[in-house]
Amino acid sequence: MTDWPEAFDLAVVGGGNAALCAAITAAEAGASVLILESAPLPYRGGNSRHTRNFRCMHKGPMFPLTGQYEEDEYLHDLMLVTKGKTDEGLARLAIRTSEECLPWMQAHGVRFQPSLSGTLSLSRTNAFFLGGGKALVNAYYNTAADLGVKVAYEAEVTHVHLDGDRITHLEATIAGTPVTVRARAFVLASGGFQADIDWLARAWGPAARNFLIRGTPYNRGVVLRDMLDQGAEQVGDPTQCHAVAIDGRAPKFDGGIVTRLDCVPFSIVVNRDGDRFYDEGEDVWPKRYAIWGRLVAAQPDQVGYALIDAKSIDLFMPSVFPPVKADTIEGLASAMGLDPQAVRRTVDGFNAACRPGPFHPTELDGLRTEGLNVPKTNWARPLDTPPFYGYQLRPGVTFTYLGLKVDARAQVHTSQGPVRNLWAAGEIMAGSILGQGYLAGFGMTIGTVFGRIAGREAAAHVA
């Protein structure tokens, strides 16, 4: 094991949004900073690469956000998705600080899209990055480079050495070579553990081996495990992860945004045995999007099949892979590896339960089935117009909830009290605020707010 050539004021473990916010903040305060990014350069940025927007409180219109989105409404939205599983103090801190983050982001190179007139009405609550998360990551790396921050890629931290109430050094491999990294302060921003399939399988059961990982393959939770093993206080449920239903043909890792499928409300979804298992028309898609990962994960082989007909094929966002297409229901079932008779029975039963009425694809239209055990309560139209189309669905994991508990200064604690020179930011501590569920753009809010706090505190510690 060799020593890193110089000792730094601050070593930041991780290379995504939270890590960069911490590094930039500390460097601006005069600290010398090293970023240890486990990915090679083309994959730098962790899950931030795949993100798209930032949820931001604001009292009045603020570019690019329209209207106002105040603390209580924001908190209310968070309470809805977490069902109260949040630390309200930290949540309010994140929400309140998000307002000053937006101009800070712009001042550090992040560019936003003019507000979208799009379908989701997020232009009031969420600011969209021009070019997406990788553009944000690029801007921050350039800003950091201009501030003299050093970056080591392919730098995997294997051990954070805790000695009493202080971290003395990190053990890491950089491009395969073992090194010791010395610094006076440390920020952990190395994400969750969702890319460690074995860990997922231990937590979830063997079904997790069939999950797809939507984000970076580099969030393997090595540092998180190491800190928990050394007695760091933990938050979140280790058995839980946030999963959405994505295209079953997506890559095992890193499929990102394009693997989403928006077709479910206009389809019927059957499992491997050709049976429906949940109300596809429960609510508009973005709201119910998140639950389908869990629903599909509970089905045999963790797979579902969304079936639609020619009436509905143009009602949703384009998919990255073309749908399977056939002229008959039986043909579609065979092409997707399903039993044609079973699917035919399900479709016939569904079609017979549909009632005529006005169909409104953009709102809850109450067009519901009658007499089915698993009803479809909106957008229920018979599958009767060929050609028929099908998409395979699988659970796509976006992140895990287990993490390090932090205080309002982003400091990490063990049962013995605070670790004097250790802070955490981003997904590794997000469970402190987001105990379950998800709110679009909130991960970036937590990362930015706590990244800046961690950077500020670390710089103050070494000043």
**Interface residues toward other proteins, by CB under 8 A:** 42-43, 49-50, 52, 111, 113-114, 116-120, 122, 128-135, 138, 142, 249, 251, 254, 256-258, 260, 286, 314, 317-322, 440
Tell me the closest approach of the beta carbon of residue 45 to other proteins, in angstroms: 9
Name which of 163 and 314 has its Cβ closer to other proteins: 314
- What residues contact 323, with CB distance under 8 A and at least 6 apart? 308, 313, 389, 390, 391
Tell me the closest approach of the beta carbon of residue 245 to other proteins, in angstroms: 13
Q: Cα(182)–Cα(3) distance, rounded to whole angstroms?
A: 8
Tell me the closest approach of the beta carbon of residue 225 to other proteins, in angstroms: 27
Name which of 109 and 331 has its Cβ closer to other proteins: 109
* Unique residue bearing structure tokens 């190179």: 109
Tell me the closest approach of the beta carbon of residue 177 to other proteins, in angstroms: 22
Name which of 318 and 371 has its Cβ closer to other proteins: 318
Tell me the closest approach of the beta carbon of residue 264 to other proteins, in angstroms: 14
| CA angle (307 as vertex; 323, 359 as ends), nearest 5 | 110
Contact between 142 and 149 (Cβ < 8 Å) = no
Dump strand ranges (E) for 129-218: 150-152, 155-163, 166-174, 177-188, 212-213
Q: How far is CA 392 from CA 157, 210, 212, 267, 319, in A?
A: 37, 13, 13, 12, 12
Tell me the closest approach of the beta carbon of residue 441 to other proteins, in angstroms: 10
Contact between 179 and 207 (Cβ < 8 Å) = no
The amino acid occupying position 324 is V
Name which of 43 and 442 has its Cβ closer to other proteins: 43
Name which of 121 and 328 has its Cβ closer to other proteins: 121
Give me 310's structure tokens.
Answer: 């020619």
Tell me the closest approach of the beta carbon of residue 306 to other proteins, in angstroms: 16
13 class by beta-carbon count within 10 Å (0-12 exposed, 13-18 middle, 19+ buried) = buried
Strand partners, 368: none
Contact between 94 and 118 (Cβ < 8 Å) = no
Tell me the closest approach of the beta carbon of residue 142 to other proteins, in angstroms: 6
Instruction: Enter the DSSP assignment of 319.
Output: P
Nearest of 451, 75, 53, 395 to residue 214 by alpha carbon: 395
Q: Coil, helix or strand for 27?
A: helix
Q: Cα(419)–Cα(284) distance, rounded to whole angstroms?
A: 45
Name which of 114 and 337 has its Cβ closer to other proteins: 114
Other C-beta atoms lying within 10 Å of the C-beta of residue 263: 25
Tell me the closest approach of the beta carbon of residue 117 to other proteins, in angstroms: 6
Q: Coil, helix or strand for 156?
A: strand
Tell me the closest approach of the beta carbon of residue 215 to other proteins, in angstroms: 10
Tell me the closest approach of the beta carbon of residue 109 to other proteins, in angstroms: 9
Q: Coil, helix or strand for 359?
A: coil
Q: With the CA atoms of 19, 25, 27 and 31 taken in that order, what torsion angle do they form, in degrees rounded to the nearest 10?
A: -100
Name which of 132 and 437 has its Cβ closer to other proteins: 132
Name which of 403 and 426 has its Cβ closer to other proteins: 426
Tell me how far apart the terminal alpha carbons of the chain are, to the nearest angstrom.
29
Q: Cα(350)–Cα(371) distance, rounded to whole angstroms?
A: 9
Contact between 425 and 22 (Cβ < 8 Å) = yes
Q: Cα(44)–Cα(246) distance, rounded to whole angstroms?
A: 24
Tell me the closest approach of the beta carbon of residue 375 to other proteins, in angstroms: 27
Q: Cα(56)–Cα(123) distance, rounded to whole angstroms?
A: 10
Name which of 141 and 450 has its Cβ closer to other proteins: 141
Name which of 427 and 457 has its Cβ closer to other proteins: 427
Name which of 43 and 69 has its Cβ closer to other proteins: 43
Name which of 345 and 360 has its Cβ closer to other proteins: 360
